[in-house]
Amino acid sequence: MQKRKNLRTWIEVDSRALEHNLKQFLKLIPRRTRFMAVVKSNAYGHGLVDTAKALLALRSFSEGGWLGVDSITEAFRLRKEGIKNPILVLGFTLGSMMQDAARNNIIVSVSNFDSLADLARAKEKPIFHLKFDTGMHRQGFLPEQTPQLMKLMKRHGLSPQGMFTHFAAAKDIAYPTYTLEQFRKFNMIAKLFEQAGFKNIIRHTAASGGTLLFPETDLDMVRVGMGIYGYWPSPESRIMNHEPEIILRPPLQWKTIVAETKEIPKGSYIGYDLTERVSRKTNIAVLPVG
């Protein structure tokens, strides 16, 4: 209550709901599969630092849990707050920031040959994961670029800690063909890396939708974002629930005070451009959230 003193409007995040959602996903994945909580973009509006610390206060996450962010700026902030768990930058990292990533033990994603060249030039090289474009068609090496990629990596003495892809339609269980084809392409790439002598690579493909609907895609790690915030990726993912049943609880509530109340007569207009007209004598309340 003290924190809300002198506030007109505020957001509350229930750490118990966050823990509940985490446990719902942990019961879906094998024990050997790592769990990454995606806290990118200010933890989807829930607060980057507060959400990360709330998760790390849970024994089920603190021991081995990963954090996924979009930018190295978010990763630096978490390190500044004393967070030691593995942090993977899922988005693009400037070449000029590679050494800073290494010095702060931040893992970067490499998704194109220019970024690979930046990594190779860095005096201090960060741990990195390779991102592959198997059908999302955003960031990522294309499957046919794999032989060239492996050749360059061997030339520069580079070895990835992990490799991943992102599904374009895993939230739609009614059309699994595209997701399974992406998964097939990714497994083909992973096999080529293994045959070329790259060992012990952490493979990850499933986000919230994949974790809920395609358990075969769990592999070595899952990346769950919106799911831990209590939101289903799609109506289909909610309908096609698992056994045991999965229940998600949104932890965020937006609250405010009532600043003013009044009674207005029948026929009165309300708001800019006369948005509403009341058909009877009406009590209205004004909320200071605009």
Q: Are 171 and 209 in contact (CB under 8 A)?
A: yes
Nearest to 212 by CA among 202, 198, 196, 223: 223
Catalytic residue among 3, 5, 40, 53: 40
CA angle 275, 281, 287 (to 5 degrees): 55
Structure letter (DSSP) for residue 72: H
Q: Single out the catalytic residue among 23, 151, 272, 281.
A: 272
Q: Residue 74 to residues 42, 57, 79, 243: CA-CA distances in angstroms?
A: 8, 19, 9, 36
The DSSP code for 147 is H
Three-class SS state of 5: coil
Whole-number Å distance between alpha carbons of 259 and 60: 42
Q: Mark whether 272 is an active-site residue.
A: yes
Q: Is the peptide bond before 244 cis (omega within 30 degrees of 0)?
A: yes
CA trace torsion 63, 69, 75, 77 (10° rounding): -100
Q: Is 226 exposed, middle or buried, given 0-12, 13-18 or 19+ CB atoms closer than 10 A?
A: middle
Catalytic: 269?
A: no
Cα dihedral: 233, 235, 240, 244 (round 10): 70
By annotation, the residues acting in catalysis are: 40, 272
